[in-house]
Chain A
C-alpha cells in the first residue's frame, strides 16, 4: 500500500521520501492539520488517525498523517472530513507547550511520531 504522507517531522520525510509521496510542511501541529483538511477537500482519504499517539496535540510539535495516494473521483469523502474537522476542534482545546523543548525531547518526539506512522505502513 502506498500513499501520501503529510508530515512536519523531518525524519519521516527523510525515511519515506523515496518510497511514498511525502508532503513536508515546516509548520505547526495545527497548521499541519489544516493542510490535511485541504487535501481532504480535494478528495483524498485519510488512512491514519490525525490524533494518533497519547502525546497530546501541541505537547509534541510533530505529526504525520497518511492519506490515499490519489483523490477519489467522487469528491470529498465524508468520514475523512468529519475526522479531520473533529481533530482540529480537539487540537484547539490544548495549550501550546512546545516552546523550550530540549533537543533530546524533540528527538524522542520525532522518533515516536515516526513509529506511530510506521505501525500503519
Chain B
C-alpha cells in the first residue's frame, strides 16, 4: 500500500467571515463551525478559542487532540466508519494541516483531566504546547449521561477537524512524504536480508470512557487483527479515551504514531516493516489470554524477527503488555516494549503492575507520579473547576501564589507510551 502525505504548514489561525486557508493562515468562520458542532442535540453550546505557543494560556480539561486531514486521492475518507463511509483507507494521497490541532475541551465527567499549558514549565511536558490549537469548549444539555455526551463531543471534534482539513483539498502541499509497504511475498523477495519487523499496537478498550475505535468498531469487541501501516494515517483509529491524560493516546497520537513513522524511516534500510498488528486491553482476564495468544500466533505466522509493542494506560494494561511480550518472545520473536511508570512520587516503587524476565528491552515514557509545579497563567480556556479533582492532583494542590503542585499525570501526553514525548534521562 502506498500513501503520499502532503503537509500544509499552518502559521496562524484567525477568526473570519469565511473559512479558508491563505498563505498558511487558517481563517475560521465561527458561525459555520458552530453549526457543525451543534448538529448533535446533546451539545447545548460551544465556544471557540485559539491558543498559540508561548502564550500564558492553560487549556483544561482536554478531551481529545485531532490533526485536520483530507483525502485528496484514493479510496475512502478521513475517519472511515466514523465520519467517512467504511472503505479501506491508507492509499492514494492525503493532506494534513501541520503545526496545528483541534482540541476538544470541557467537562465530560466530574473528574476529567488533561492540561495543556502553552508556556512555562508545563509546556515542556506536552507536545501540544508547540502547536497552534483551535479549541472547542463544549457544554452538554442537561441530564445527558456522561458516555453519551463523550460520544457527542468525540464526534463533533472529528466533524470539525474534517471540515478544516477539507479547506486544504485544492492547495499545493509545502512538503510531501511517501509511505509504502509491500505484500508478504514481495517483501521477502525485495529485502531478503533484512529482519522482518512489525508493530504491535495495544489499544485502550476497558469500557466506559476508556475506548478506542478501529474503522468505527469498538476495539474491545475485536480479536487481534492487522492493518497496513498507512491506514492509521487516514484516521482508521480514533480515541474515545477520556482517562489518564499523560498516557492516553489522543487521535492526534494515532494519526502521527511515532513508532510507525520511525519504522518507515528504517524500512528497506535496516529492517522490513511488515505490518501493523492491533490488539486490545480488556478487563476480563480470559479476553487478555485470547488476545495475547492471537498476537503471538500472528507474529509467528508472519515469520517476524522482531516487534515493537506499545501500551496505553496503567495497571490492567500492564498485564496485557507482559502477556504479549512473554508469548511473542516464546515464539522466538524479539520484543521491545514501550510503557510508562507509576513509580511513586519518589520514583522508588515498582514501576509496572506486572513483570517478566522476557521483558528485557523496555523503553519508558517517564514516571507519571513525578511532581511538578505549574505557575498561574493569565488565561484559562475551559475551566479550572476540575484541576484539583483530576488524577495526580489533590485538594491541597493550589499553592498560596496561585500555582499548582501536581503529578505529571495531569498533563496531556506527558508520558505517552508510543514515545511521542520528549522526557529523557539524559
Contacts and interface: CB of A to CB of B under 8 A. Distances in A.
Interface residues of B, number: 46
A72 interface: no
B350 A89 contact: yes
Nearest to B345: A95
B383 interface: no
A102 B110 contact: yes
Contacts of B50: none
Contact of A105 (B111, B353, B393): B111
A74 interface: no
B209 A94 contact: no
Given A86-B353, A116-B208, A56 B391 contact: yes
A53 interface: yes
A94 B316 CA distance: 15
B253 to A, nearest CB: 15
Contacts of A73: none
A101 B389 contact: yes
A86 B314 CA distance: 13
A52 B315 contact: yes
Interface in B280-299: 282-288
Nearest to A106: B110
Contacts of B111: 55, 59-60, 101, 105, 108-109
B284 A54 contact: no
Contact of A51 (B109, B286, B314): B314
Contact of B353 (A51, A60, A95, A111): A51
Interface string B45-87: 0000000000000000000000000000000000000000000
26 contacts: A46-B285, A48-B284, A49-B315, A51-B318, A53-B207, A54-B206, A54-B248, A54-B314, A55-B111, A55-B243, A56-B392, A59-B391, A60-B111, A83-B319, A89-B350, A89-B353, A90-B342, A90-B349, A93-B350, A94-B369, A97-B395, A102-B389, A105-B111, A105-B389, A111-B146, A120-B284
Interface of A: 46-49, 51-57, 59-60, 66, 83, 86-87, 89-90, 92-95, 97, 99-102, 104-105, 107-109, 111-112, 115-120
